[in-house]
Amino acid sequence: MTEFEPKIIAFVCNWCTYAGADLTGTSRIKYAQNVKIIRFPCTGRIDFMLLLKSFGEGADGIIVSGCHPNDCHYTSGNFHARRRWIMFRGLLDLLGIDVRRIQYSWVSAAEGAKWADIVNSTVNTIRELGPYTEYEKVAGYLEKEANQ
Amino acid sequence: MSKIGVFICHCGENISSTVDVVRVAEAAGELEGVAFSTDYKYMCSDPGQTMIKQAIKEKGLTGVVVGSCSPRMHEPTFRKACKEAGLNPFMCEMANLREHCSWVHDKSEATTQKAIDLVRTLVEKVKLNKPLFSIKVPVTKTALVIGGGIAGIQASLDIASAGHQVILVEKDPSIGGHMSQLSETFPTLDCSQCILTPRMVEVAQHPNIKLLTYAELEKLEGSIGSFKATIRKKAKSIDENLCNGCGTCTTKCPTKKIPSEFNTGLGMRTAIYVPFPQAVPNKPVIDKENCSYYQKGKCKVCEKVCPTGAIRFDQEDELVEIEVGAVVIATGFDIMQPSGFPEYGYGKYKDVITGLQFERLASASGPTLGEIRRPSDGKIPEKIVFVACAGSRDPAKGIPYCSKICCMYTAKHAMLYQHKVHHGKSYIFYMDIRAAGKNYEEFVRRAIVEDEVNYIRGRVSKIYEENGKLIVKGVDTLLSAKPVEIEADMVVLASAAVANPGAEELAQKMHVSYDSYSFFSEAHPKLKPVETNTAGIFLAGACQAPKDIPETVAQASGAASKVIILFSKDELSRDPLIAVVNRSPAPVFSTCVGCFLCASACPYQAIGEELITNRQGKVIKKVAKVNPGLCQGCGTCVAFCRSKSIDIQGYSNEQMCAEVVALLNND
Amino acid sequence: MKIGLYPGCSLTGSSREYNESLLAIAKEAGIELCQINDWNCCGATAAHNLNKELSLSLPARNLALAELEGMNELVVPCAACFNRLVMTQHELSEKNDLRKLISDKLQLPLKNEIKIYNVLQFLEKHIVPRLGQLVKNPMAFDVACYYGCLLVRPQNVMKSERFEDPMTMDVIMQKLGANAIDWPFKTECCGAGFSVSKIEIVGELSGKIVRNAVDHGAKAIVVACPMCHSNLDMRRPAIDKYLNMKMDIPVIYITQAIALAMGLTPHQAGIQRHFVPVNLPVNLPVNR
Amino acid sequence: MIELINKAKALLESNAVQVVIGYGKGTSNRTRAIFVTQSDDCDKLIFDSRCVQNLAVYLTKSEIKKLGKPAIVAPIPVLRSILELAVENQLTENDIVVLGITPESEIVDFDTFANIEAFLATHKIVIEEKYHEIIRLIKAMPVAERFAYWVKELEPCFKCYACRAACPLCYCTRCTVDDNQPQWISVPSHPLGNLEWHIMRAMHLAGRCTDCEACFNACPMGIPIHLLTKSMLQDVNDNFGSYGPSLEKQNTLSSYKPDDKESFIR
């Protein structure tokens, strides 16, 4: 059987991590295809509901990444984001949603290599964890109903 | 029904070598709502762009997705192309198939599949794009410059010479700032006042500059292009129009023993005074705290002797409101009083002074007319010790950062001393010599080699008096860490440069951020060094961090040019990717419930109130309103709004959701 | 009121008089100082250069024992002991897992919450407030308060405003009626590190201190550290040799000064134990 | 409670307020919220240990607003909600008259919100040990088991939104769950829809919830949804220090500290 290829969605800010990922490209550093990026103006813009949606839509893992503290293009968007993540992560953990499936990181526009590393290590983590069947079961509830 | 055009770029072979671009174009063509899809070798090239324009016209496209390089590279290019073809530029999106795909993956099915996914994602987004139009903000072409030191002077002159009005506000009775206190300037040793005073006069005489001395900013409202500033003009107790600056009052004033701020306490001044001979404006003010009339109710000598009857004891502070389009903060720095370092004995021993005090001693206009004489007994010091980093780079007791100017001015001080006292001996205790700058290192070399200044690499542990001498105990770390003791006649402390006492308060008045040392923060440490995070407010000089004169002047001109660029248009046109609060039909009007937590989250104070009234003008609802002039489009408020009542154009909730769904459903 | 006391080696040996006078004035002030039962070395010697864990365990054990005895305040008169104990407490409070580790090794519980005072802090908190009525015999003369290095350091723990020019001892001496002179050698090095190995260096360093005190008109040097005392007192021959003149200025512990001011006999204050005879320009009660 | 009744009477007679929101007798042995507009009806007001509903919820309801300026009977949980509503600009001091009731059931008037905050400073929110215990137990489960546990707990939920209706802080004119552009939360009350709804609800209360348990009390299926908010309350405390409404302190999620600590961001 073929190896499990995790679906991983990345929410990144335009000014640091998106640019950093661009640098990964211009430096021709290779990484796994599993991760696909969605571009946001700022980590402060990233709504926790979107992370939830991602799992609901079948994501096995999520990367959320933006500017290092004090580097935010908008001075404090990432600080607000960080607080939101701290609270959100705590809640998900209580609910048994596997927080190991969400990788948060700071990747600056200069850290092309770090981005590749984040992607690859996340892909490996999710590979080990396997497909997010628990959540898929919950999300696929309706379809199953229909099929029966 | 949207008609999307998809254009896949080969980028020569950059993309096509690992991504099957033809298949990507085909796959895109099958997507719902895609009316046209193709691939081409160089989309950004002229024929490539023409291809897009034609498709827009012929197929009547409602949106465009270009699958090529990073949008950070060519988004402007393709949006311009769309605009030229009559499509709203914001209906164009880019899928990053090069930096995020072809360059980071090997040629494989998965790579092509990823490219398809990325394109599909952007197609779904662009379907929900709405035509956007850049925001217009009217510009009041008057600049407010706060602080009349060299930074404020330079900025004012530049802006004024470009033909714009400038209002220069200075808290002291005269402009000139610290530079006017300096003796001679490194690395050229030209006299500070000789190069400064002409510019001061220029300011006073410039038709476009309105000078408000002895005044401070009280309040700042509004936003880029149209600020409203309230200035407090402190009562000078004289009628400036009548006063001809003859100076009789200052000579006749009986209260003569007030330590002169300008001479850093080394000289005295009267209660009604002009800070220094070349002051601009050269008209006196009365220092109420020390004037015997204001304190004891009698005297009025100045009034009696004034030939023009210009004295006004009953004068009161005046608040003036002005409309300005931009603000330049040039409030400069302050010198840390070394009293926190008892081991140096500053304040205890008269002959331990600060660098700024030494400037006054060395200045031809100073209390000793430029002769280096020690404060205690006026003797010429035979041996003088300079202590660099007196407070700087000292996390324990001083400030952790480097004050930057001390290495140079200490070298200068030693040099000046050697030039004035040929047989004298000078020693400099230092940590490192930081002489990075044009002709700076050479200058320090000169001090060491030609003027035989003794540099000792080490710190001073204690200074104390012993039979008329100042014993300086320190260590020479280069001589195998030997303790050294020098019997000096005078000690000069290069005390740290710190932010002005009022800096934080001022920053809060203007909603610009400041760092942990109360220096004003630039918008970006590298790419926006003169902007603040508040649009329309700029920084010049040492109020942002310690700076020497050349840097300060350069930054001031930089800030000025930013203002001039701003003033070059009658209207501001800004990217419309900003937040908006939704509107819905009555009786809801807007789903915003006015909790205003978004306002507290906004980094730019861009969110204000809007009162929704009925026909009778009765307020029915208070909702949030985004000031398009201030909003920078970070979207923090959007993610924060519980009722999803605030959304950001170009990155709307619908668009982002659509992207998530599209990206994850590739089957 | 019961307060713990950690004497350390000096106070049971070379500086017995420090211990005696401390206990004497505490008694006068109605304060009971209880020695920690089975206390051990503070590790001030070389331990903290050789073995990190040991250097923490030694002081930690004393702290743990004090806790077991239910003490919540602990006086550590010797500046070196104080430095070790307070540093250990600081480090262990910063690193919780390290605290657990040490506590396990010691097989003793360690909350690490006990308040550690050096002698000056103790005097300020418990003795000075009671001084008023107790001062019967004012020390009305010029004294040089000498702090040395350890008493006011390390800065990051002591958080003292003016560790280069401390005032606490001066203030206490003023309260005893003395005039604490303003002199620059308060915190200069006495050479303690060479006390045994290189006496001539001690002679030079301490010599400068003694001379400066005398030059500033001091009639006595007041100290609060056994090493300072032994160097300025016991090493006086080396000092005289360096200055090549005879210095007869006495060196007394602040606790002795207080004892004498309280009207206790010189013997109760233990001044007979000094090498340099203690002649003060005030009348002291004759020994019983 | 005669004092309360007299105060209410006086307020209505002097027309200082037009309605008094308080507790009255309900069916069987229960109490319910009553809205007294006539001073003669003030005798219906009661207050005793059974009065646990959080009346603050009515302050933002348009139907009640229509009645005019309210006075409200406010035991501690209500006071907390009032203060949070004030923080969130939903109330000004002239909007209401607060008839505070201390745990010793003494009546205190609060003419300013600052006074309420001062009073609450001495009556801080305390999460009962039993809840700490439960939360500890849940967190101790293996992650998959924990997930299964909650899916099961939430299964009975049929999205009646009583929890929302009972919460004084769920005063939005349009709740995100009712927003279908985009469809944030899957509509039906199947496991996913329920999960998403309750996560969103908890997140929207993060740093705002005053732990009044109205949501739990209102849930017809007795789902322990208050565990979520309690746990977050604790998280707020552990990560950012001190929870509970405050006029000075900014809302937890709309403010930040540059040195906020976390251990999971790479």
Per-residue pLDDT tens digits for D45-98: 999 999 999 999 999 998 999 999 999 999 999 999 999 999 999 999 999 999
pLDDT at B89: 96
**C-alpha to C-alpha distance for B90 and B76, rounded to whole angstroms:** 10
Residue B489 is given by DSSP the state S
Q: Give CA D127 to chain center in angstroms.
A: 15
Nearest Cα to Cα of residue B338 among B264, B418, B442:
B264
Is the confidence at residue C288, as pLDDT, over 60?
no
Rounded to 10 deg, the angle between the A77-95 and D143-154 helix axes is 80
Range list of H helices, chain D: 2-13, 62-66, 76-87, 113-121, 129-140, 143-154, 162-166, 191-205, 214-218, 226-240
Instruction: Name the residue facing D89 among B595, B601, B658 (closest C-beta).
Output: B595
CB B52 within 8 A of CB B66: yes
pLDDT at C194: 85
Question: Is B643 in CB contact (< 8 Å) with chain D?
Answer: yes
- The pair of three-digit structure tokens given for residue B151, joined into one six-digit string: 């930074």
**C-alpha to C-alpha distance for B275 and C189, rounded to whole angstroms:** 47
**C-alpha to C-alpha distance for B61 and C99, rounded to whole angstroms:** 70
Q: Give CA B70 to chain center in angstroms.
A: 31
**How many angstroms away from the CA of C48 is the closest CA of chain B?**
23
Tally of CB atoms within 10 A around B661: 18
**Is residue A2 one of the residues assigned to a domain?**
no
Provide the pLDDT confidence category of residue C197 given band limits of 50, 70 and 90. confident
Provide the pLDDT confidence category of residue B418 given band limits of 50, 70 and 90. very high
Q: How many domains does chain D have?
A: 2
- The pair of three-digit structure tokens given for residue C134, joined into one six-digit string: 């107790």
Q: Are residues D117 and D134 in the same domain?
A: no
pLDDT at B241: 93
Hey, which chains touch B, using 3+ CB pairs under 8 Å? A, C, D
Q: Of the residues D66, D89, D121, which one is the last residue of a structural domain?
A: D121
Is the confidence at residue C96, as pLDDT, over 90?
no
Buried b (16+ CB within 10 A) or exposed e, B299-315: bebbbeebeeebbbeee
Residues on chain D bordering chain B, Cβ-to-Cβ distance under 8 angstroms = 88-90, 171-176, 179, 181-184, 204, 250-251, 253-255
Is the confidence at residue A12, as pLDDT, over 60?
yes
Q: Of the residues D71, D87, D121, which one is the last residue of a structural domain?
A: D121
* CA distances from residue B620 to B610, C117, D16, D62 in whole angstroms, order as listed: 11, 65, 22, 12
Is the confidence at residue A146, as pLDDT, over 60?
no
**Is residue A3 one of the residues assigned to a domain?**
no
**Is residue D264 one of the residues assigned to a domain?**
no
Provide the pLDDT confidence category of residue B208 given band limits of 50, 70 and 90. very high
Judge A/B contact: 3 or more CB pairs < 8 A: yes
pLDDT at B526: 80
Q: Are residues D96 and D135 in the same domain?
A: no
Rounded to 10 deg, the angle between the C254-261 and C168-175 helix axes is 10
* Helix/strand/coil for B122: helix
Q: Give CA B77 to chain center in angstroms.
A: 32
**What's the CA angle centered on B38, arms B36 and B42, to 5 degrees?**
135
> Domain span at residue D83?
2-121
User: Would residue D174 be called left, alpha or beta, if left means φ above 0 and alpha means ψ between -120 and 50 degrees?
Assistant: beta
CB A15 within 8 A of CB A75: no
Is the confidence at residue D220, as pLDDT, over 60?
yes
Mention every residue, 6+ apart, whose C-beta is less than 8 A from residue B205: none
Segment A29-47, tens digit of pLDDT: 999 999 999 999 999 999 9
Q: How many domains does chain A have?
A: 1
- The pair of three-digit structure tokens given for residue C100, joined into one six-digit string: 């657990």
Provide the pLDDT confidence category of residue A55 given band limits of 50, 70 and 90. very high
**How many angstroms away from the CA of A42 is the closest CA of chain B?**
5
**Could you state, in order of their start, the residue ranges of all structural domains in chain C?**
2-118, 135-273
Provide the pLDDT confidence category of residue D258 given band limits of 50, 70 and 90. confident
The total number of residues shown for chain B amounts to: 667
Q: Are residues D10 and D114 in the same domain?
A: yes
Nearest Cα to Cα of residue A126 among A108, A102, A148, A107:
A102
Is the confidence at residue A147, as pLDDT, over 70?
no
**Is residue A24 one of the residues assigned to a domain?**
yes
Beta bridge partners of D32: D24
CB B134 within 8 A of CB B575: yes
Segment D196-215, tens digit of pLDDT: 999 999 999 999 999 999 99
Asked if the Cβ–Cβ distance from D174 to B643 is below 8 Å, we say: yes
Sequence letter at residue D59: L
Which domains, and CATH codes, for chain B? 4-132+658-664 (3.40.50), 142-234+317-332+500-567 (3.50.50.60), 248-305 (no CATH), 334-498 (3.50.50.60), 579-649 (3.30.70.3270)
- The pair of three-digit structure tokens given for residue B309, joined into one six-digit string: 């009857």
**C-alpha to C-alpha distance for C219 and B12, rounded to whole angstroms:** 93
Q: Are residues D152 and D94 in the same domain?
A: no
**C-alpha to C-alpha distance for C206 and B210, rounded to whole angstroms:** 66
Percent of chain B with pLDDT over 70: 100
Q: What is the ipTM of this complex?
A: 0.63
CB A77 within 8 A of CB B636: yes
Q: The domain that contains A34 carries what CATH number?
A: 3.40.50
> Domain span at residue A85?
8-147
pLDDT at B379: 95
Nearest Cα to Cα of residue C164 among D84, B398, D50:
B398
Instruction: Name the residue facing A57 among B71, B106, B660 (closest C-beta).
Output: B660
Is the confidence at residue B303, as pLDDT, over 90?
yes
Residue spans of beta strands (DSSP E) within B261-411: 268-269, 272-273, 285-286, 318-324, 326-329, 333-335, 352-354, 383-390
Interface test mutation site (partner D, options A70, A94, A107, max chain D beta carbons within 10 A): A94
Segment B327-358, tens digit of pLDDT: 999 999 999 999 889 899 999 999 999 999 99
- The pair of three-digit structure tokens given for residue C216, joined into one six-digit string: 């500033």
- The pair of three-digit structure tokens given for residue A79, joined into one six-digit string: 């600080």
Instruction: Name the residue facing A86 among D185, D191, D262 (closest C-beta).
Output: D262
Provide the pLDDT confidence category of residue A142 given band limits of 50, 70 and 90. low
Q: Are residues D91 and D147 in the same domain?
A: no
Asked if the Cβ–Cβ distance from D147 to A97 is below 8 Å, we say: yes
pLDDT at A57: 93
**C50 or D37, greater pLDDT:** D37
pLDDT at A18: 95
Question: How many CA atoms does the CB half-sphere of D261 hold within 13 Å?
Answer: 7
Radius of gyration in angstroms for the set of CA atoms belonging to chain B, rounded to a whole number: 32
Sequence letter at residue A79: F
pLDDT at C283: 80
**How many angstroms away from the CA of A1 is the closest CA of chain D?**
25
Provide the pLDDT confidence category of residue B604 given band limits of 50, 70 and 90. confident
**C-alpha to C-alpha distance for B11 and B102, rounded to whole angstroms:** 10
Is the confidence at residue B479, as pLDDT, over 80?
no
Is the confidence at residue C95, as pLDDT, over 60?
yes
Taking all residues of chain A, what is their mean pLDDT, rounded to a whole number?
91
Rounded to 10 deg, the angle between the D191-205 and A48-56 helix axes is 170
Segment D48-63, tens digit of pLDDT: 999 999 999 999 998 9
Helix (H) or strand (E) holding B506: helix B503-510
Segment B348-388, tens digit of pLDDT: 999 999 999 999 999 998 999 999 999 999 999 999 999 99
Q: Are residues D113 and D181 in the same domain?
A: no
Handedness of CA B417, B422, B424, B429 (dihedral sign): positive
Is the confidence at residue B472, as pLDDT, over 60?
yes
Is the confidence at residue C163, as pLDDT, over 90?
no
**Is residue A72 one of the residues assigned to a domain?**
yes
| Protein fold of C2-118 | Glutathione S-transferase Yfyf (Class Pi); Chain A, domain 2 (1.20.1050)
Is the confidence at residue B511, as pLDDT, over 80?
no
pLDDT at A3: 82
pLDDT at C2: 74
User: Under CATH, to which class is C135-273 assigned?
Assistant: alpha beta
Instruction: Report, as an integer, the average pLDDT of B488-497.
Output: 97
pLDDT at A143: 63
Segment B513-547, tens digit of pLDDT: 777 798 998 877 788 899 987 789 999 999 999 99
pLDDT at B587: 82
Q: Of the residues D121, D139, D167, which one is the last residue of a structural domain?
A: D121
Q: Are residues D28 and D85 in the same domain?
A: yes
Residue B46 burial (C-beta neighbours within 10 Å; 0-12, 13-18, 19+): exposed
Segment B267-299, tens digit of pLDDT: 999 999 999 999 999 999 999 999 999 999 999
CB C140 within 8 A of CB C260: no
Taking all residues of chain B, what is their mean pLDDT, rounded to a whole number?
94
